[in-house]
Amino acid sequence: MKATIFVVVFLLLIPQLYAYQKYAYVSVLSSNDFLIPAKVLAYRLKKLNSAIPYVIIVTQDILKQSVDELREQGVIIHEDTKIDTPYLKTHKARKYQYTKIRLWKMTEFDVIVHLDLDVLPTRDISELFECGSFCAVFRHSDMFNSGVFVLKTNKTTFNEMQEKVVSTVSYDGGDQGFLNSFFNDLKYSPMYDSTRKSSDCAIYSMRRLSAKFNYDIGMYYLNNGRFLVDPNIIHYTMGPTKPWFWWTYPLFDLNWIWLDARQEMERNLRTEFDVSLLLAATNALVIVFLVAVYMIIDRIGTRHVSKYVSNTETHLAFHGLYSLSLYFSWKLAYETASPIPAWIYFTSNMAWINAINGAIYTRLRTSISIKLKSILKCVVFLSLCQALFWIFVSQISTFSTRVIVAFFLFFTQQFLVVNFSRYVFTLWNLNCSKNYRYQCLPNNNDLTE
C-alpha cells in the first residue's frame, strides 16, 4: 500500500519538476517601448500553460518600474547587459544586437523556446520543447526568422558563438543574420512533426518548424486577409503597424486578436492608471488653450490686414493647416493607448486645432472675427467625417479593398473639411477680379466685423 502511494505521488510530481526545472519561455527586453507587449505575452503564456515559467532578459536600458510591473505578473527577470552588433557603425537602431545568444548559457534550463515580444500564441505551444537541439521557421527564403526558435542550452555553444560574433557574417546586421550563419545547415534538416515521435527526431537533432509556429502577418495581408495555415503563433512583424499602436486600427484586422488579449489582461490585472483619463484631461486642456489663444488674437487684432486674399492662397493655407493639425494631433496621442479612446482623443484634438487655426488665419488675413458657433461647426463636421471614415473602413472584410478605400476616404475627407472650413469662414466662392484676387466679405450671421 505504501509503495502504491509513493508511486502515485511520484508520478504526480514528475510533470511539475520536469516543467519548472527543464523548460522555459524566454524573451529579451531592451526597450521600455515594448513593456506592454511583454506584459500581454506574459499573460497569454501563463493562461495557456502556467506550468512553464516565462523568463525575460532585461538589459541595462530598462526602467525599474518596468521590471517591477513584469515581476508582478509572475515573470522571472534575468538582468544582463546588451551585446551590441559588430555592425554598430552602420546599424545603430536598438533592434540590431546579439543579446539573444545569451540564451545558450542559461543552463538552469535544459530547453528554451525563445519568443520575440511582438508574437502572440493562439494555443498551447509546449510541444515545441521536444523538437530538437535547435529549431526555427523558414519564411520567404532559405533564411529562418529569429522571432521564434527552440534551443538546447549549452555553455560550449555559447562560448563558440561569442568567439564568432565578429568574424561571422550577418546579412541583416543583427542576431537573425548571425544565427542563420551559425546554424547554416538547419535548412537541410527535416520538418518537425509532433505527431510522430520517432527515433530520428531525437532531442539532440535540429529541425525546421512549420510556419504555424511563427506566422508572419505579412503573408496574411499579401494573401488578401487569409491564413495559409492555422497559426499557433502570430508574429506581428510589420514595424509601424504593431498592434499596440492605436493608429493601426481598423486597417490591420489581425491586430484585433492581439487587442483582445490585451483587454483580457487589463480586465484581470489591476492597472495603476487609466490612460483614457489622461487623454480626456489633456484634450480638455488643449481645447481651453486653443480657445484662449484665439480670443487673445481676436481681441488684439493685427496691423497687417489685407482686404483681398487670393483663392489659391486660402486653398493652400487651409490644406496646410489641415496637415499640421493632423500631425500635431497624432504626436499628442499616447501611441500605446487603447485604439478607441486614442482615436476619439486624436479626432477631437485635430478638429479643434484645425478649426481654431483656420479662425486665426481668417482673423489675421482679413480682420473678420469668427464666432465660436462657426468654429464649432467646423469641429463637428471634421469629427463626423472621421467617425464615418472609421466605421466604414472597419466594415470592409477584404484587406486590399480596405486599404484602397482608406486612402480614398483619407484624401476625400481632407478635401471636404478644407472646403467646408473655407465656406464657414467666408473664404469660399468670392468675387473674382482681373488680377485673380478675391475680396473677403462676411456672408453669414455667424460673423462680426
pLDDT higher than threshold 70 for residue 232: yes
pLDDT band at 303 (very low <50, low <70, confident <90, very high): low
Lowest pLDDT segment from 25-34, 80-89, 387-396: 80-89
**Whole-model pTM?**
0.85
pLDDT at 133: 94
Percentage above 90 pLDDT, the chain = 65
pLDDT at 438: 41
* Identity at 410, one-letter amino acid code: F
In the predicted model, what is the mean pLDDT of the chain?
86
Nearest Cα neighbor of 381 from 357, 404, 350 is: 350
pLDDT at 239: 85
What average pLDDT does range 77-85 have in this prediction?
91
Q: Are strands 144-152 and 134-138 parallel, antiparallel or unpaired?
A: antiparallel
- Tell me the C-alpha distance between 342 and 202, whole Å: 50
Which class does domain 19-268 fall in?
alpha beta
Task: Sketch the domain layout of the chain as residue ranges.
Answer: 19-268, 275-448
pLDDT at 380: 97
pLDDT at 3: 55
Sign of CA dihedral 240, 55, 142, 139: negative
Q: Return the bridge partners of 29, or none.
A: 58
**End-to-end Cα spacing for the chain:** 102
What average pLDDT does range 345-359 have in this prediction?
95
User: Which residues in 139-269 belong to E strands, given as ranges?
Assistant: 144-152, 206-209, 215-216, 233-235
pLDDT at 164: 93
Between 166 and 307, where is the model more confident? 166
Measure Cα distances from 256 to 192, 216, 447 in Å. 30, 16, 46
Q: Give the containing element (helix H, strand E) for 364.
A: helix 339-366
What average pLDDT does range 343-360 have in this prediction?
95
Cβ-in-10-Å burial (0-12, 13-18, 19+) of 239 comes to exposed
